[in-house]
Amino acid sequence: MLDQPLTLPCGAELPNRIAKGAMTEGMATPDGRPTEELERLYGIWSDGGAGMLLTGNIIIDKDHLERPGNVVIEREPDADMAARLARWAKAGTRGGNHLWAQLSHGGRQTPKVVNPNPKSSSDVALALPGGQFGRPTPLTKDEIADLVQRWGIAAKACKEAGFTGVQVHAAHGYLISQFLSPRVNLRTDEYGGSLQNRARILLEAVGAVRSAVGPDFPISVKLNSADFQKGGFAFEDSINVVQWLEAASVDLIEISGGTYEQPKLMGVAGMEDEEAQNVAPSTAAREAYFVDFAKAMQDEVNVPLMVTGGFRTRAAMQQALDMGAADVIGLGRPMCLVTDAPRQLIEGREALPRYEDNLDLIPNWLGFLKRFQMMKAINGFAGIYWFYQQLWLLGHEGRVDEAYSVFKAFRTIEARNKAIMEARG
């Protein structure tokens, strides 16, 4: 049942099975500090009945934002930062739910406007048209050691501020996911080569976080079921990594998939053909595209799993719980407009809107343009920008605007990104 509590291995209890997935907010100050707008947004969500809210990307290195306007924790917070984090945590837990901080590093997916010379596992550039991302430089071993420590420092800062858990972001093609991918990680040292080596940075980050927060505090990892790319991180790899994470005392694995090159996380086709994975398809929960992976994963591990991506009907959510595929259901896009979707679902609402079906920047009569890679990429980003704009409105004005145009959202967010980067200097 969706309203059933879940006890995690560390002993903490989630009050129900619905969580809001991480969604980047872009509402920090130009130097990465939480704001009143973030407090408003998370207060609204906390009133919405979710058992757990995940923050959007909180970045552990100001030069590797996922997006202008990310919150940044790269060292022990000063008094102002600590107070801002505490106010954010207080607002985001006022409904009695959990609030977990997602700790991330953009790696080569850091946009050029933030940093034209990002660091990654190796020097493999993103294969995307448009020149939005710079060619990366490989991290040195000292730099890796420094980043690992920062995951711990940021986790401790969040715990002290009143967040009730943390999540290490190892999915979606960001830095740790770059290390996991044999396509992006060409290193020949102990951080590259075998899966064990490619997973080393992740396990070290989790170890640093566990030492920083102690045994009773929830730690989650968001992991790809697969990258869905030829020669990429495959489902068999993912199962192995989850087994290691379980042994490393992780409390909840969130299963997602894909990268910027292959945005399977949104259920969207990428630039290249999708690489099929070795998992038995079931007839279950079709709308939620990682459920079969989670089900196959559950047969191999005991750690609780959260599954995010595509859930829109209560029946599919219930089925994923009943068939033992998921312990927690993650909701993303619907929560940008229906902020109390968890309460409504628990009270019996059958289905949430599929806003994503009507968010083309390119009108139908120009559909042929989508054959061109550049247009496909812009169209994909614009749909996401529309959700960014809804979050912005919630944080600033406490309202959403379903009629907001996709085109306007695209222009508004691009202009806002530029303004944030100019203010940062």
Ligand X SMILES: Cc1cc2nc3c(=O)[nH]c(=O)nc-3n(C[C@H](O)[C@H](O)[C@H](O)COP(=O)(O)O)c2cc1C
Q: Could you list the residues that contact ligand X (CB under 6 A)?
A: 21-24, 56-57, 102, 169, 172, 222, 256, 265-266, 308-311, 331-333, 384, 387-388
Encode 155-186: b = buried (16+ Cβ within 10 Å), e = exposed: bbbbbebbbbbbbbbbbbbbbbbbbbbbbbbe
- Min dist. Cβ of residue 307 to ligand X (A): 10
- Min dist. Cβ of residue 289 to ligand X (A): 8
d(CA 297, CA 307): 11
- Pairing status of strand 119-120 against strand 252-256: unpaired
Contact 327, 6 (CB under 8 A): yes
- Min dist. Cβ of residue 189 to ligand X (A): 28
- Min dist. Cβ of residue 168 to ligand X (A): 11
Residue 186 or 378: which CB sits closer to ligand X?
378
DSSP assignment of 321-338: HHTTS-SEEEE-GGGGT-
d(CA 419, CA 140): 32
Q: End-to-end distance of the chain based on CA atoms, in angstroms?
A: 50
Residue 139 or 413: which CB sits closer to ligand X?
413
Nearest position to ligand X, beta carbon: 332
Residue 187 or 245: which CB sits closer to ligand X?
245
Residue whose entry in the numeric block shows the structure tokens 């399977």: 264
- Min dist. Cβ of residue 386 to ligand X (A): 9
Residue 39 or 254: which CB sits closer to ligand X?
254
- Min dist. Cβ of residue 406 to ligand X (A): 13
Q: How many helices (H) and strands (E) does the chain have?
A: 12, 13
Residue 19 or 184: which CB sits closer to ligand X?
19
Length of the chain in residues, anyone?
425
d(CA 227, CA 153): 29
Contact 279, 236 (CB under 8 A): no
- Min dist. Cβ of residue 265 to ligand X (A): 5
Residue 334 has which token pair?
Answer: 């619907």
Residue 138 or 202: which CB sits closer to ligand X?
202
Residue 138 or 326: which CB sits closer to ligand X?
326
